[in-house]
Amino acid sequence: MNDICNSPAFQEFLQKRCEEIAMKDKEYVKINELILSMENEIKVLVSDELLKKLNKYEKLNLDLMARAETLFYSQAIKDFKIGG
């Protein structure tokens, strides 16, 4: 089970599954749309240098969230010993 959970293919599956679950939730979609709208408003107000930093900051945050979702999903599978 551990070998499967640590494989890149399984990690990608988990990430895609988390995205699929989130996009079916109306509240998640609503909040995400508000965030995107706010980002667009902010981006027109800042300098190019600050915009580059904001984009890097945003990517790091998204990467962190994606990593956390994958870790939670993987641990839930291990906790319930699904498939093993």
- In order along the chain (84 residues), what is the average pLDDT of each group of 10 residues? 74 88 94 94 93 93 90 84 60
pLDDT at residue 57, rounded to an integer: 94
Within a domain: residue 31? Answer: yes
Assess contact for 78 and 1: CB atoms under 8 A.
yes
Within a domain: residue 1? Answer: no
Within a domain: residue 36? Answer: yes
Assess contact for 69 and 14: CB atoms under 8 A.
yes
Within a domain: residue 9? Answer: no
pLDDT at residue 32, rounded to an integer: 93
pLDDT at residue 2, rounded to an integer: 58
Task: Give the pTM.
Answer: 0.70
pLDDT at residue 60, rounded to an integer: 96
pLDDT at residue 31, rounded to an integer: 95
What is the number of residues in the chain? Answer: 84
Distance from C-alpha of 41 to C-alpha of 49, rounded to nearest angstrom: 16
Domain total in the chain: 1
- Domain range for 43: 14-80
Distance from C-alpha of 41 to C-alpha of 53, rounded to nearest angstrom: 16
**Torsion (CA) 55, 58, 62, 68 in degrees, nearest 10:** 140
